[in-house]
Structures are given as structure tokens and as C-alpha cells.
Amino acid sequence: MRDITELIQRHRECSRNLWNTYFWPQAEREENWDLRDQFEDVSAKLFNSLVLWPLECEAHQFKPSYLLPYQQVPFIRIVPKGTCTAQVNREVESGYWDHPIEELKEGDVDMRFIQYFDWWNLGHREFEFFRVLIVSSVKHPELNGRHALVKPLNVRVEFDEAAP
């Protein structure tokens, strides 16, 4: 495993700045979801260039967040730093994040990156959370296959060369 936290953080900051500086003012004022989708297209291309290309994984194309179903990036693991808290989906892919799990620990949970997440897609964005897929959890097996939100500051990001 290779720590790629800085690589992901660079893309996160680049996309956050691009949205907040150039897209957000018009998108929110006009409630323009098409402009939001255009930004998501640009952000996905940036992810492909700034993250996947340096990892030599450009065959995996990162999809814009408005395209469903959401897909994990199988070789990007989200690993708790010590412990972290996750807001878990009530169901597999619902919009309800009301199942908090405290003290997820490294080695107890296998989480894979899906996308960045903010509560309001047309407003100012911080990319406050990583949306992840919980592949497996030793302590909480009922969470396997569910999506969760974790704060980027509480995790590190690893490149799993052995993942498909």
C-alpha cells in the first residue's frame, strides 16, 4: 500500500477552488443543475489527470458524481487514522446519513473511495466528506456494502496496487 493522501488532497483542493471561484456563484443564483453537471464533468477529468494518471491507472475512468449508480474506485482505500467516525447510509444508497458509527479503527474496516460529498451541491463547497463504500467491517458486518461519509482529516488515503 502506498499513501496517496497528498495526491487526493491536491485534487480535492483544485476542484473545491474551481467550484467556489468560478461555478458556484452562477449555479446557486440560477439554481442551475446543468452548470453543476458541467463542473462535475470537469472535476472527473481532473481526477483522471491528477490522481489516476500518476498512479498509472488511467484505464479506470472516474465518473462524474451525477451518474448513477455510484461506483467505488477499487484501488483507493480510505483508512482511519487511529479511529474515525462515519455517518452510514440508512440503506445501501439512500440519502439518509443517520446511522453514526463511532471509533472505526484501522484493520477493522475496509473502505473504498467513491467521491467527495457536501450537503448542498449548488452552494459553497468544502468537500467536507469522502463518500465511501464499506467493503467489509469486522466489528460491524451489518455495514458491509453500505455507503458512509467520513471526514478527510480523520483518514489517510492509500493506493492498493493489488486491487482489481
Angle at 60 (CA atoms; ends 20, 119), nearest 5 degrees: 30
Q: Is residue 149 part of a domain?
A: yes
Q: Is residue 164 part of a domain?
A: no
Q: Is residue 23 part of a domain?
A: yes
Model pLDDT for residues 136-147, shown as the tens digit of each residue: 999 999 899 999
Q: Is residue 26 part of a domain?
A: yes
Phi-psi region of 72 (alpha: psi -120 to 50; beta: other; left: phi over 0): beta
Half-sphere exposure of 161 (CA within 13 A, CB side): 6
Q: State pTM to two decimals.
A: 0.93
* Residue ranges making up the domain that contains 78: 2-159
Q: Is residue 132 part of a domain?
A: yes
Give just the sign of the alpha carbon dihedral 144, 146, 147, 150. negative
List all residues 6 or more positions away from 91 whose beta carbon is below 8 Å from its beta carbon.
146
For the chain, how many structural domains are there in total? 1
Model pLDDT for residues 110-134, shown as the tens digit of each residue: 999 999 999 999 999 999 999 999 9
Q: Is residue 51 part of a domain?
A: yes
Using DSSP, state whether 101 is helix, strand or coil: strand
Q: Is residue 123 part of a domain?
A: yes
Q: Is residue 48 part of a domain?
A: yes
Model confidence at 93, in pLDDT bands (50, 70, 90)?
low
